Amino acid sequence: MSSVVSEVSTTDDLRDYFFALVESLEERLLGEEVLLCEVRGEVSSFARLNHACVGQIGDVRHQRVTIDLIHRQKHALSSVDLAGDREIDLSRVRSLMEQVREIRSHCPDDPYLSYNTAACSGEFAEVSKLPDPVDMVGTIVDAAQSEDLVGIVASGAQYRGFANSLGQRNWHSTHSFNFDWSLFSEDDRAVKSSYAGKTWAVQEVRQRIAASVEMLATVRRPPKVLRPGRYRVYLAPAAMYEVVQMLSWGGFSVRGLETKSTPFLRMHESGARLSERVTLSENIAAGTAPSFESSGFPRPEQTTLIAAGRYEGSLVSPRSEKEFGVPTNGANAAESPVALDMRGGDLDRDTIAESLHTGLLVSNLWYLNFSDRAAGRMTGMTRFATQWVENGRVQGPIEVMRFDDTVYRMLGENLIGLTRQRDWIMDPDTYDWRSTNSARLPGALIDDFALTL
Amino acid sequence: MDEIRARFEEVIAARGRSLGAWTLRIVDQHDEAVSIRRDVVEPPSSSHDIGVMISVEGKNGTGYCATSDITRESLGLAVDSATRWADTRGGCGPLPQPTTGRYQTETQTPWHSVPLGQKIDRLRELSSSMVGGGEVVDWSASLWHTAVDTVLVGSGGGTVQQSFSFIVPMMSVTAAGNGDSQTRTLGGHAYARQGGLEVIDSVGFWSRGRLVRDEAVGLLHADNCPQGNMSIVLAPDQMILQIHESIGHPLELDRILGDERNYAGTSFVRPEMFGNYQYGSDLLNVTFDPTVPGEFASYGFDDEGQVAEKTHLIRDGVLVRGLGGTLSQQRVGLPGVANSRASSWNRPAIDRMANLNLESGESSLEELVSGVEDGLYMETNRSWSIDDSRNKFQFGCELGRRIRGGQLAEVVKNPNYRGVSATFWRNLDGVGNGATVEVLGTPFCGKGEPNQVIRVGHASPACRFAEVDVFGGE
């Protein structure tokens, strides 16, 4: 058997290898046992850059299998990294099976046990269009020339598979890149940009870096120091991404709703509303995440979460279905969105400085957290190319400012409008694994935005 | 691990002199978690994570390849892959070579000495003590154990072997009513330590469920924290966050060198500030101390195999040293500490905090409080936000208490405060004695590209600060 993560392996090999391991486990099932099995893996290259030079560079090849072994209402989960050798891996997963049986013997019945019994197999497999990562790094370094570019380019294959002893088989493999970078001036002003996708276009990389260089010139002016107060602001899609990421921390979760830990508590209990302009949905069809979750449930193509400012629906994991009696929509255990979609409005991004008239163009927000979660109030910092605008003309950068405001003001009574154009943002997170999450968001023009420090 | 090492040595031998300097880091990690939520035992989970990080020096710098595929064939491919990077687009070097040594967590009651069934039974007892009254809407408790064995070998002949046992007990109760909800936890989940099950007993885990519940319910009925500029006394489970965000991160040399500017951020600290910058009042003494038994990020050697020792970073308020491993020290031309660490086998080592402790002073908690005429006492971090140069911060706590006339008074909810690192520490006007110190930590410090989440330890006494802007919720 060839190595499962060798350079010559294709994702087809990996799929076949995984399903073969599952079949060998199915042969060892006892009585009424049901096996759920998930595999996750990536073959990634990471190049970290500072001052347009490589700081750290290398490859990561990682794959892990998780089994959930069920007997009536008892079960336990365990995972193990795969070694790439059939003998070793068979030994590991069989041993895992025995361990889980032993653990399960100590467990009480799980009233919230839930797994998909309506087999819905499927496959999504892409062919790589990515160039040699050595060439990708070369293009970036050459294009940056003497500019102070800092950031990371991550690229390669990601795959997720699911199989159960009821005959279901799912496979999802993609090949993508995410180049996430900032350009800095000598006096520490910066512009942040990104380029992510499936097809790496050298000319596009050059153009985007050149555009960053051009924009950097506008933030080289002396920064304006603002006093705390309320300001009219435009939050660019990258800044909006930070806001919706915070709201995704329990805000769209049925468990968060039922246990009163949602930041939308006042929407559910006190009649608070967002602006009618705000419609949010989980749009799996338009995202890059798998269309199945870890116990085999399919995810619907679209789930509306907030419609015209009002609560419409929640993300519901299989366990929550049992606990709260709401049908699952294949949400992950955290019940957080993986492909959030916000409807655009009627503002034109190309003339947003004129629409703003006087206030702040906020390119990025940073390090958000709740200052009063139950009230939907959050704080965070401006970052990168945030600029002051007067009479529709960009004046220059500001010193970073802290905001502290509620979602009901920001995206409710003080929301003036959303841009017609939306950005597709591919999550650059690489904690443990490269993220497959994404979002499609407009920019937002907001009045009386509270800056506090 | 011995087999992997032997296979790797075969690969290296086959390469002969064509291969430059190299290191091999093997990480073998076992995790187990058992939890209960709303009186329902959740399915226990466990994982076994094993892999290698191979780093090599080549014609154009250093490169790495990390893999969970530990066949001889794949290890050879990994060496080739790392070499290709090192020869074409290599990163910073030279590759630090490890010394030789061992470290092992001291454990009194090993995790596996108590069967899973007994742990579940005790969690059920605990859970039943956490519920009561119609206002408690969510409650949970869990135990998380991690055992990690690492081996680091290098072409220079050094070998570092380390074995760790980590324990993290967690407990949380949420009470809700009248359109509000309040959550109280056991120390913000910061009773994270090295050791065995003795850690669980030593923090009073099994007996604190009722107290956590009562405090959650009490917060629901408390007034909002007032707004104003006043003195505050911070408990250790908030101090650790204050130390972490506004001392630890700004002192990381890789931030100062700009490596993190695209993600975690930079630092208001500049290289020329070491040795003369007045970081805080003369009561402020901060150490990098990986030698504290049982603290979460104690170790003998960092992940580049350098010997870890207790070192002052801030002495009597003056900044004396930064947090940077061998490569960062060379790049910036300043001394540092052995803190080049990786979250696992699949990430390269970068400058991290490890144990960062605030040394105790001479005041009892009563003395700290008695020095405040009108102020606030705050416990347990729940919200953290700071700018990318680690200066303007805003932090929130689970529980506050008014201080009036030098005495602790009524509980207030949603206590928040904000300030600027560069001036905040200069208003430190009271440091608690050894009796107020708690040894805490967190498994969740995020940084780096690619991202890494790592364990850090913080020990701190209670501390008092003057002239702080505080405020409450909506």
Total length of chain B: 474
Report how many Cβ contacts below 8 Å link chain A to chain B.
Answer: 289
B356 contacts B458 by C-beta, under 8 angstroms: yes
- What value of ipTM does the predicted structure carry? 0.96
pLDDT more than 70, % of chain A = 98
At B426, is the pLDDT very low, low, confident or very high (cuts 50, 70, 90)?
Answer: very high
Res B132: pLDDT: 86
Q: Where are the domains positioned within chain B?
A: 2-221, 224-471
Residues in A closer than 8 angstroms to B92, CB to CB, are 54-56
Beta strand residue intervals within B73-114, DSSP E: 101-104
B41 touches chain A (CB under 8 A): yes
pLDDT value at A7 more than 90? no
User: Among B93, B76, B98, B92, which Cα is nearest to B18's?
Assistant: B76
The sign of the CA dihedral A242, A234, A371, B365 is positive
The reported pLDDT for the residue numbered B272 is 98
pLDDT in tens, A353-412: 999 999 999 999 999 999 999 999 999 999 999 999 999 999 999 999 999 999 999 999
Neighbours of B109 (CB within 10 A): 14
The predicted-structure confidence for A19-78, as pLDDT tens digits, reads as follows: 999 999 999 999 999 999 999 999 999 999 999 899 999 999 999 999 999 999 999 999
Contacts of B51 in chain A (CB under 8 A): 62, 81
Provide the strand spans (E) within A241-347.
280-283, 302-307, 310-311, 339-342
- Report chain A residues whose CB lies below 8 A from the CB of B91: 48, 54-58
Average of per-residue pLDDT values in chain A: 95
Pairing mode, if any, of strands B45-58 and A74-81? parallel
- Does a cis peptide bond (omega within 30 degrees of 0) precede residue A442? no
Contact between B165 and B149 (Cβ < 8 Å): no
Q: What is the pLDDT of residue B102?
A: 98
Query: What pLDDT does residue A6 have?
Result: 39
Q: Does position B32 have pLDDT exceeding 80, yes or no?
A: yes
Residue A186, pLDDT score: 84
Answer yes or no: do B46 and A369 touch at CB < 8 A: no
pLDDT for residue A1: 29
Which pLDDT score, from 0 to 100, does residue A10 have? 65
| CATH number 3.10.20.30 is the correct assignment for the domain at B2-221 | no
Summarize pLDDT for B133-153 with one digit per residue, the tens: 899 999 999 999 999 999 999
pLDDT at A315: 98
Identify the structural domains of chain A with CATH numbers, from first to last.
11-218 (3.30.2290.10), 229-451 (no CATH)
pLDDT digits (tens, 9 = 90+) for B45-101: 999 999 999 999 999 999 999 999 999 999 999 999 999 999 999 998 899 999 999
pLDDT higher than threshold 70 for residue A3 = no
User: Across residues A201-226, what is the average pLDDT?
Assistant: 94
What is the band of B324 on the pLDDT scale with cuts at 50, 70, 90? Answer: very high
What residues of chain B, 70 to 109, have a C-beta less than 8 Å from chain A?
70-71, 73-74, 77-78, 81-82, 84-85, 88-92
Closest B-chain CA to A271? B179
On chain B, the residues whose CB falls within 8 A of the CB of A265 are 176, 179-181
> If you average pLDDT over residues B22-39, what whole number do you get?
98
Task: Kindly report the nearest CA distance between residue B103 and chain A, in angstroms.
Answer: 25
Burial state string for B188-221 with b = 16 or more CB within 10 A and e = fewer than 16: bbbbbbbbbbbbbeebebbebbebbbbbbbbbbe
On the 0-12 / 13-18 / 19+ scale of CB atoms within 10 A, B234 is buried
Q: What is the rounded CA–CA span in Å between residue A109 and residue A113? A: 9
Q: In this prediction, what percent of chain A has a pLDDT beyond 90?
A: 93
Mean of all residue pLDDT scores within chain B: 97
* Separation in Å, CA of B395 to nearest CA in chain A: 8
Query: Which pLDDT belongs to residue A9?
Result: 55
* B187 φψ region: left (φ > 0), alpha (ψ -120 to 50), beta (else): left
Cα separation, B193 vs A333, in Å, equals 27
Per the CB < 8 A criterion, the answer to whether B382 and B400 are in contact is: no
Q: Tell me, what's the pLDDT at A119?
A: 83
Interface residue B120 vs chain A (CB under 8 A): yes
- Of the pLDDT bands very low, low, confident and very high (cuts 50, 70, 90), residue A242 is very high
- A-chain residues near B261 (CB < 8 A): 50, 150, 182, 184, 190
Distance of alpha carbon A49 from alpha carbon A54, whole angstroms? 5
- Kindly report, residue by residue over B227-260, the tens digit of the pLDDT: 999 999 999 999 999 999 999 999 999 999 999 9
Strand partners, A295: none
pTM above 0.90, yes or no: yes
Of A48, A51, A259, the CB nearest to B174: A259
Answer yes or no: is pLDDT of B304 > 60.
yes
